[in-house]
A = this chain, B = another copy of it.
Amino acid sequence: MRCGIRNLAEDLPDADAVAVCTPTNTHAQILLDAAARVKHIFCEKPVELSLERIATINAALEKAGVSLMVGFNRRFDPNFLKVHEFIKPGKIGAPHVLRITSRDPAPPPEHYIRASGGIFLDMTIHDFDLARYLMGNEVLEVYTKAHVLVDPASRKAAYGYDQRLEVFGSKGMVTVKNNTPDNHVYLDSVGTHSSWPLNFFMERYTESYLREMQGFVDSVRENNPVPVTGNDGLMAVAIGLAARKSAKENRPVRLSEIH
């Protein structure tokens, strides 16, 4: 499997599958090109920034009989998988409240942000997908409150990469704490000290990336449905667009308002 912007026809004459890990604005062309040559495509999130274009891509791929897996790697994280294992068989009863904490240690470079679609489409889109996945339900309405507090394009946690989650249900609650590089605790004459959260996504989500790609390869090999579909890619972007609209208009926005 190779990653990059290439002339797929020449470079991958005998590939069964491709993984598209290029910038978002190149996805549409690459995906449609690839669909003419391979049967299986993995594409990094977000597939596109417009719902219309995603719908077009999804339809084209479906027509061509090509399966598309979207790169929401957090579904494959051991912590979040564990939460799913608790929710699915009803161990927490009916899930009432899901609370995801997702904070980056530092904002990405400005040129990245300029093309990224903004915080709701490049960063919290992971959380939107995770919400759908864990709750097993579609989002109906979004209310967002956003302020520029650090610099005009920023998200920053001074203490590192904060990736926690809790689901409260009628019979109990399951939470996940941050992963840390080690489990030491140091006590001195001042207090008790331990490690920072793992920093950054490459360290924190290593295991999920491996399992994600394994999931793709397995579905290709065994001819099974991909674990994260083109529709999942579409819905997460729809929530992101609703979040953006809500932040702008300071009101709850229903998903049905987003086209």
Contact = CB atoms under 8 A, between A and B. Distances in A.
A144 B78 CA distance: 33
Interface residues of A, number: 56
B184 A176 contact: yes
Given A82-B182, A192-B194, A251-B252, A187 B170 contact: no
A173 B192 CA distance: 9
| Interface of chain A, main secondary structure | loop
A103 interface: yes
A8 interface: no
Interface string A234-258: 0000000000000000111000000
A158 B149 CA distance: 37
Give the oligomeric copy count.
4
A175 B159 CA distance: 13
A220 to B, nearest CB: 27
Interface of A: 78-79, 81-83, 86, 91-94, 96, 103, 143, 145, 147, 149-150, 156-160, 162, 168-197, 250-252
Nearest 8 CB-CB pairs, A to B?
A159-B187, A172-B188, A177-B183, A82-B184, A78-B182, A192-B194, A82-B182, A174-B186
